[in-house]
Structure 1
Amino acid sequence: MKTHVKALVVGGGAVGASIAYHLAKYGWSDVVLLERDELTSGSTWHAAGLLPYFNMSYATTWIHDYSIKFYKTLEEETGLNAGFYVVGNLRMAQSQARMDEYMLYASTAETVGVPFEWMTPGDIKDRFPLVHTDDLVGAIYHPTDGYINPADVTMAMAKGARQRGVTIERRWQADAYEWTGSEWRVTLTKMVEKGGNLIPSDEQQVITAEHVVTATGNHAQHTAKLLGIKTPAIPVEHQFIVTEPDPALVAWRKENGEHPVLRDADAKWYVREERGGWILGPYEHGAPARFKYGVPDSFRADLFPLDLERIEEEYMSFIHRIPSSEEVGLKDDFNGPICYTPDGNPLIGPAPGLRNMWLAEGFSFGITAAGGAGNYLAQMMVEGEAEIDMASLDPKRYGDWMTTEYAAAKNEEAYAHVYILHHPDEEREVARPLRTAPSYDRMAARGAQFGQVGGWERPNYFAIDPESGEVARDARSVVDFSDHDARSFRRGRWWDYARAEAQGLREAAGLIDASAFAKHVVHGPGAAAFLDWFTTNALPKVGRINLTYALTAHGTTRTEYTILREAPDRFTLISAGAWAAYDGDYLMKAVEDNEARFGRISVEDWTTRTGVFALAGPRSRDIMRALIADADPDTALSNKRFPWLSHRRIELGMVPLTAVRVAYTGELGWELHHPIEMQNHLFDRLMDAGADHGLKLVGARAQNWLRQEKSYRAFGNELGRDATPLEAGLDRFVDLSKEFHGKDAMVETGIRTKCVTLLIDGPGDADPWGREALLHDGTKVGRLTSGGYSVAFGKSIGMGYVPEALATPGTRLKVRMFRELWDAEVTEDSPYDPSNARIRQDG
């Protein structure tokens, strides 16, 4: 065995084989792939091998699309048949809501270029007569996917990796990882078989590697313990059954070829053909998490006992949908572990707090994702960034607050939700509430319907009757996941509440809980010089703020910061909610890398120490004036004493806080950063003072609409690692007269596409969600990244990216919603109050 390599990949399933292959493809031939047992002996061996395109995530759709195309090339390269059966995939709908879901998904698919067809029940019956269609509304059909043999495709990727110089070692287990400061020292133990079990021997080996990738599947919890990190990747039981041959299917195949994969999402199952019979795979409620603390040494390519009672409902619905299966016996059954994460998406990217340690864990659809995951992770490792924004899959989207119990419960929920309607405003109930600001109960009592970001409970909207001002009688819960009527792919019941909130803030004042903001304090002798290099904008003067960006090495947007300068060498950096671990890890590593250059720098995470209320609207100054402790309260908040884009220490009631003259809604306003333990006192005083000034509580959905009227870009939507700040139209926050990290790459990239705001004449019962395709003269030219409703213009609004030539105000485009094209017009940036007169108003 080699004793030193460029990269060590730990885990010999489909994901690990793909990573090794793609690392070699991108030029790292000095790679070792390590497997503790045999290749494919983990979840790969018992996977059903389906390749579903369907996914609401833009990044994951790209990953799946790459996999499906890549697998079709393997036989020509390696001589091994990957076992890919391109039979098509028919996803059926029993309700119009399900068809609405498919139409929203199709928007994402169209932006990526995934082919699909729409089918009516009559179309389905004509082409696939074995399917009972009387209770169907329609279907979406993917002609280019199907299923694959997991072992075959893994072996083909492994052979391709060997051909490119990768060494594959079996029966070696990684037992210890040590970072020496420049490379990883990994202690390996030889595994031997004894009595059918795989046990460690006395033989050990040490291998050093510049980079390590873990793709350990069901063993992710053990891997995390060895690395000293946390991960939510925990397996859940998945069972599927194989029937005896179905004579009707056998007869149909003789004339038509192999039957396509069928998915009845409303019945929670998939089926595909298997040697004249059917494989039925249900996603039922009640499937338990397994191996929460590690996989037993005795568990190899093993299975769990089948629990037929748990899937009885799904089995009966399968017979209903394919009546010919009723007389067919059961031939085989499988119940094995498949790793999940709380949101069902994998963990792909750098490990938190560690250098050159990369994670590829938590793949619930590992065969579908393996090819693309290997490709884009290899791009990140070799080239510094992937060509798509992978932030939504970053392992650091779950911080240290995440526990084993939380992960297990949420993973069980994610499994059961595979076929639940995926509303864009979906909220799931398990393990909630968990992280709550002190004012949670007060807001709940006032009708708050909460969403979750990074574990934090944050009001999405307030179910308050616009006429009476009282909590709506039908607000059945403080969390909208149980208020099912509020969910919709169109304008749900929440929409009227959000509109009233947006109008109330524009006309008078609104109070928003923004406590989930990530907050990092950077201080020390080297802080100013470091931040000047780390971010794109000029640093603010003491007492002032600015908006700025930290870039990747490729010049794209890594993080958006609002920087408050409190002293010459002390700064508070505020970034997007739910991204504290993601932003903090990048910041800390940059400080460590550059402290010798700039001097001593300290970084502290203040996210949970400080609460934030955003108070905004034309009456917001009046509300604060009633509370501020100042010798001259009438002038304390004037433009002269408290100008726009400045911050001050003030006292409101008995609360000492930092007030920041800025508002994400585009109105006169302040962010009030206060000690978290004093939040309830501050909340009560603000509500009392606001009673005479029309103060309304405002949730995240209305705020999202309002920020689009101002063309304020949002991280994770318009801002990400696939576009530069210049492409995002943020030139005024980029100081090209100074040197900063990523500057040369940003300039060299140029303008590939441009961010625009659009006003949309859409359907009367729906607004865009920010996933829709944009077309010009019948050709797809871009996509929306945000969407919603504008109370200022009385129509839908959205933001997105188009070629620079189409970014001129007045350009007419089309946006696809519910299979139809609707008029959209590019507007000037900040169509609402473009001169910022309302933000700057004096008083």
Structure 2
Amino acid sequence: MQSHARVVVIGGGNMGAGVLYHLAHMGWTDCVLLEKSELTSGATWHAAGLVSRMVGGQSLGAMHDYAVDLYKKIEAETDVGVSWHNCGSLRVATSPDHMDWINHIRDAVLARGQQAEIISAAEVASLNPLYDVEAAGVLGAIYTPDDGHVDPSGTCQAMVKGARQQGAKVIRKCRVTHTRQLPSGAWQVVTDQGTITAEHVVNAAGYHARQLGAMAGLDLPITTMLHHYVVTDAVPEFEDMAHEIPVTRDDHFCGYIRREQGSALIGLYDKQDPQAVWLDGCPWDSANELFEPNWDGITPWLENCFERMPALMNRGIKRVVNGGITYTPDGAMMLGPAPGLRNYWLACGATVGIAWGPGAGRALAQWMIEGSADVSTRAFDPRRFGIWADAEYAHKRAAEDYTLRQAMPYPQHQRDSCRGIKTSGAHDRTASLGATFEEAGGWERPRFYAPEPLSWRRSSAFEQVAAECQAVRQRVGLSDLSAFAKFHIEGPQAETWLNAVCANHMPRAGRTCLTLLLNRKGTIEGEATIARTGPDSFYFVTGAPSERRVWDWLTLHCGVPMDDVLITNATDKTGILALAGPRARDVLAACTSDDVSNDALRWLGCKELTVADTPVLALRLSFTGELAYELHASNAQLGALWDALWAAGQSHAIAPFGTKALDSLRLEKFYRGGHELANDASHKDVGQERFAATDKAFIGRDAMLARAPQSRIALLALEGEDTDALMGEAVFKGGKPVGSVTSAAYGHTVGQSLAIAFLTEDARQPGTDLDVSILGRRVKARVLPEAPWDAKNERLKV
């Protein structure tokens, strides 16, 4: 065995093969893949092999698209067969909500420039004659013709051969027994065949990823769940068809069906009693392992399948596959840097590794080599989970996610298990006012103050959100915004260090700034509000889901030495209340003897106050576009602070407001959010040039200046009633796709449905007429020249 390599990839399934293939094709050929048994012997070999473009979301959808494209051509490159079956895919709809869902998926597929169409029940019957559309009550279906299925072992072997052709190496029957990081930063990978020292390690160990991670001190929230598919005896009806039936998905039987040679392959998810295995760790000698069928669990779903396709009812079952699939708590893979470690990367927790492997491998290779991926990796970044995502959390959330595999992902849906991990000191106050909560980085955050039914369209909460917005615009609103990450940064070199890390200049004493953090590719690694609280002290605030990621960036990955700089994490100990609206100063003044006049605390200023006997750091910031104060205080005292402000606000008809109202208010101001400020965009793409200085050196500056805009954002006003976008919808100009929606909300103050979209340059000029595809309708839209509410920022400066 060789003693050194640039990269060691651990795990010979489709995820590891995807990483190795793309590292080698991008020029890092000194890479070694280690597999403890044979390639594909974990979850890959028994996969059903489905690959579909029928996916919502820009980033994950782009990965699926890439997999389809690669599988079509990799045989020619490697001469290894992958058995690509271009049969297409269907998902049937049997209710109006189903129709909204599949229309929303179609909108997202179209936004990526791919093919998707909504077809009738008669067309479903023509494509899959076995499916009884009349008995099922099919209203329609989404059809993506450029989908199919592959031989999963073939895809893995093809990518491995493609990597070998570039110079990468593969060692089979080589079990990793330990990993340790040397003082130099290099990694020693100890195996039963010897030790390799590598600059980078990639954990793509599938079933064993959690155990392998534990060797490096990680606690990865990955659980293995069991999933069945059955293969029937031969289906004679297939022989009479001139085409192969599309892969057909139907949540009535909670699964999918496709042709497997002359038989039918039926995949089933037992959502009533999901089964986890290996909670104490997968045996190291496990290879090509299957489990006994759980007939009691899957029989009801098989019966539902036979209701839909009665021709299969009398066919025998010749094979049952009950194998493990890895799940994370939210169902998304873990792709990116491991929390707290340098040059240790994760490509694991993949639920559909055949469809994800190529795109994930390409994204991770770009990240490792270039400093960032071409697609946003925020949803997959392993550091989205905090230390609270322990083994119990991982198991319970994975089981819940399993039950949602074929369920409608309503935009309002929140997980039920493991709630209340992080709550602010004001949580019981907001709960008593009727808040509906959402999760953000483990925190419970008020969404709005009413119940909300699940729907793809406006719900009964629409009027409540309007009332919350009205309170902020006309009177005063109070919001619990504790779900942010908060760091204290101090020391003699704190300002110098922050100026080297952040794109904006650091503020002077008593002031704040908004800044971007760029990576060496010149795209957005993060964003933050920074307040200068003393000559050598700063207070750094960023989004709650970014806590671990930004912490790692500052302390491990940015590459700027932290000499004479101390950073401490105050996230859990500090809460935030936002007081916003024309009467906000009146309410605050009633609770403090400190001077909070405009002269004493101006816009973008910060000041230490005592409010209702509570020490507070007040930031004069506004994400609402109104006079506002962010009050940062001890979380333990936040409830008392809420009580005082609430009591003082009664004479001004104070009202609570949540994040749904905040979205409406921020879109009226054309403020960017997390969906815009991601690693696939530059400051130019999002129109944030004023937050990135050009007259100082900082990380990513040269790449930022050299980078040409890709697509850039614009604010759209949509016409008509009930035309609110969700996210991911396609935008058209003259019938041609020119972009996609990243954020949307109804602007209750301006009386317009608004959307932020990334658009091609010819489509983003003010006044340009466009169309947005929303739930099956083409809605007229126009590019706005500026924010429709207080474009000159007069209201928030008073």
TM-score range, shorter chain: over 0.9
Distance in structure 2 (CA, Å) of the matches to 1:315 and 1:723: 46
Q: Does 1:790 align with 2:747?
A: yes
Matched-pair contact (CA < 8 Å) for 2:103–2:118 = no
Give the secondary-structure state (helix, strand or coil) at the position aligned to 1:44: coil
Alignment of 1:196-215 (within 5 A): 204-215=193-204
Match of 1:649 in 2: 608
Q: CA deviation at 1:528?
A: 0.4
Distance in structure 2 (CA, Å) of the matches to 1:126 and 1:303: 36
Amino acid at match of 2:168: V
Q: CA deviation at 1:816?
A: 1.3
Match of 1:700 in 2: 659
Matched-pair contact (CA < 8 Å) for 2:31–2:169 = yes
Distance in structure 2 (CA, Å) of the matches to 1:342 and 1:58: 21
Amino acid at match of 1:538: H
Once the two structures are overlaid, the 10-residue window that deviates more, 108-117 or 215-224, is 108-117
Matched-pair contact (CA < 8 Å) for 1:242–1:332 = yes
Distance in structure 2 (CA, Å) of the matches to 1:691 and 1:462: 17
Match of 1:749 in 2: 707
Q: Identify the match of residue 346 of structure 2 among 352, 359, 365.
A: 359
Amino acid at match of 1:625: A
Q: CA deviation at 1:554?
A: 1.2
Alignment of 1:604-623 (within 5 A): 604-623=568-587
Amino acid at match of 1:698: F
Distance in structure 2 (CA, Å) of the matches to 1:257 and 1:488: 36
Matched-pair contact (CA < 8 Å) for 1:177–1:184 = no
Q: CA deviation at 1:308?
A: 1.4
Q: CA deviation at 1:539?
A: 1.1
Match of 1:686 in 2: 645
Q: Does 1:19 align with 2:19?
A: yes
Distance in structure 2 (CA, Å) of the matches to 1:777 and 1:187: 56
Q: Does 1:310 align with 2:297?
A: yes
Matched-pair contact (CA < 8 Å) for 2:723–2:779 = no
Can you list the C-alpha shifts for 1:775-799, whole angstroms capped at 9, x where unaligned? Answer: 1122111111100100122120011
Q: CA deviation at 1:126?
A: 2.9
Alignment of 1:169-208 (within 5 A): 169-190=171-192, 204-208=193-197
Distance in structure 2 (CA, Å) of the matches to 1:66 and 1:729: 29
Matched-pair contact (CA < 8 Å) for 2:45–2:153 = yes
Amino acid at match of 1:317: N
Match of 1:320 in 2: 307
Q: CA deviation at 1:433?
A: 2.6
Once the two structures are overlaid, the 10-residue window that deviates more, 181-190 or 225-234, is 181-190
Alignment of 1:21-60 (within 5 A): 21-60=21-60
Match of 2:791 in 1: 834
Amino acid at match of 2:581: G
Once the two structures are overlaid, the 10-residue window that deviates more, 541-550 or 682-691, is 682-691
Matched-pair contact (CA < 8 Å) for 2:54–2:144 = no
Match of 1:199 in 2: none
Can you list the C-alpha shifts for 1:744-781, whole angstroms capped at 9, x where unaligned? Answer: 1111113333221111114x234111311111122111
Distance in structure 2 (CA, Å) of the matches to 1:424 and 1:825: 25
Distance in structure 2 (CA, Å) of the matches to 1:189 and 1:753: 46
Q: CA deviation at 1:677?
A: 0.5
Give the secondary-structure state (helix, strand or coil) at the position aligned to 1:522: strand
Matched-pair contact (CA < 8 Å) for 1:184–1:212 = no
Give the secondary-structure state (helix, strand or coil) at the position aligned to 1:814: strand
Give the secondary-structure state (helix, strand or coil) at the position aligned to 2:97: helix
Distance in structure 1 (CA, Å) of the matches to 2:424 and 2:618: 19
Q: CA deviation at 1:187?
A: 4.0
Q: Does 1:100 align with 2:100?
A: yes
Q: Identify the match of residue 513 of structure 2 among 542, 546, 558.
A: 546
Match of 1:436 in 2: 423
Distance in structure 2 (CA, Å) of the matches to 1:521 and 1:266: 52
- Give the structure-1-normalised TM-score: 0.92
Once the two structures are overlaid, the 10-residue window that deviates more, 29-38 or 304-313, is 304-313
Amino acid at match of 1:730: Q
Alignment of 1:307-456 (within 5 A): 307-456=294-443
Distance in structure 1 (CA, Å) of the matches to 2:358 and 2:163: 13
Match of 2:154 in 1: 152
Matched-pair contact (CA < 8 Å) for 2:39–2:172 = yes
Of all paired residues, the percent bearing the same amino acid is 36
Q: CA deviation at 1:298?
A: 4.7
Give the secondary-structure state (helix, strand or coil) at the position aligned to 1:267: coil
Distance change >3 Å, CA 590–CA 50, structure 1 → 2 = closer
Q: Does 1:238 align with 2:227?
A: yes
Match of 2:213 in 1: 224
Distance change >3 Å, CA 183–CA 741, structure 1 → 2 = closer
Give the secondary-structure state (helix, strand or coil) at the position aligned to 1:451: strand
Q: CA deviation at 1:36?
A: 0.4
Q: CA deviation at 1:669?
A: 0.7
Matched-pair contact (CA < 8 Å) for 1:183–1:211 = no
Distance change >3 Å, CA 750–CA 260, structure 1 → 2 = closer
Distance change >3 Å, CA 136–CA 59, structure 1 → 2 = same
Distance in structure 1 (CA, Å) of the matches to 2:339 and 2:379: 15
Q: Identify the match of residue 772 of structure 1 among 714, 729, 741.
A: 729
Distance change >3 Å, CA 283–CA 601, structure 1 → 2 = same
Can you list the C-alpha shifts for 1:80-123, whole angstroms capped at 9, x where unaligned? Answer: 11121111111111111111111112222112122112211011
Can you list the C-alpha shifts for 1:137-159, whole angstroms capped at 9, x where unaligned? Answer: 11011111111111111111122
Distance in structure 2 (CA, Å) of the matches to 1:126 and 1:11: 42
Match of 2:758 in 1: 801
Q: Does 1:601 align with 2:565?
A: yes
Amino acid at match of 1:628: T
Match of 1:261 in 2: 247
In structure 1, the gaps of 5 or more residues are 191-203, 464-474, 481-485, 631-635
Amino acid at match of 2:728: R
Q: CA deviation at 1:583?
A: 1.0
Give the secondary-structure state (helix, strand or coil) at the position aligned to 1:393: coil
Matched-pair contact (CA < 8 Å) for 1:756–1:829 = no
Amino acid at match of 1:67: A
Q: Identify the match of residue 814 of structure 1 among 767, 771, 777.
A: 771
Q: Does 1:522 align with 2:481?
A: no
Distance in structure 2 (CA, Å) of the matches to 1:295 and 1:396: 23
Give the secondary-structure state (helix, strand or coil) at the position aligned to 1:768: coil
Amino acid at match of 1:724: S
Distance in structure 2 (CA, Å) of the matches to 1:383 and 1:622: 51
Give me the CA root mean square deviation: 1.5
Amino acid at match of 1:448: A
Can you list the C-alpha shifts for 1:293-337, whole angstroms capped at 9, x where unaligned? Answer: 311235322112211111222111110111101111111111111
In structure 2, the gaps of 5 or more residues are none
Matched-pair contact (CA < 8 Å) for 2:52–2:68 = no
Alignment of 1:289-308 (within 5 A): 289-308=276-295
Amino acid at match of 2:537: R
Matched-pair contact (CA < 8 Å) for 2:388–2:421 = no
User: Which aligned segments of 4 or more residues in structure 1 are displaced greater than 4 angstroms?
Assistant: none
Match of 2:618 in 1: 659
Alignment of 1:730-745 (within 5 A): 730-745=688-703
Once the two structures are overlaid, the 10-residue window that deviates more, 55-64 or 541-550, is 55-64
Once the two structures are overlaid, the 10-residue window that deviates more, 725-734 or 352-361, is 725-734
Matched-pair contact (CA < 8 Å) for 1:379–1:387 = yes
Q: CA deviation at 1:340?
A: 0.7
Q: Identify the match of residue 456 of structure 2 among 467, 484, 489.
A: 489
Give the secondary-structure state (helix, strand or coil) at the position aligned to 1:374: helix
Distance in structure 1 (CA, Å) of the matches to 2:36 and 2:307: 44
Distance in structure 1 (CA, Å) of the matches to 2:72 and 2:710: 30
Amino acid at match of 2:705: V
Give the secondary-structure state (helix, strand or coil) at the position aligned to 1:460: strand
Matched-pair contact (CA < 8 Å) for 2:222–2:328 = yes
Match of 1:282 in 2: 268
Distance in structure 1 (CA, Å) of the matches to 2:286 and 2:462: 50
Alignment of 1:111-150 (within 5 A): 111-134=111-134, 135-150=137-152
Give the secondary-structure state (helix, strand or coil) at the position aligned to 1:72: helix
Aligned length: 795
Q: CA deviation at 1:79?
A: 1.1
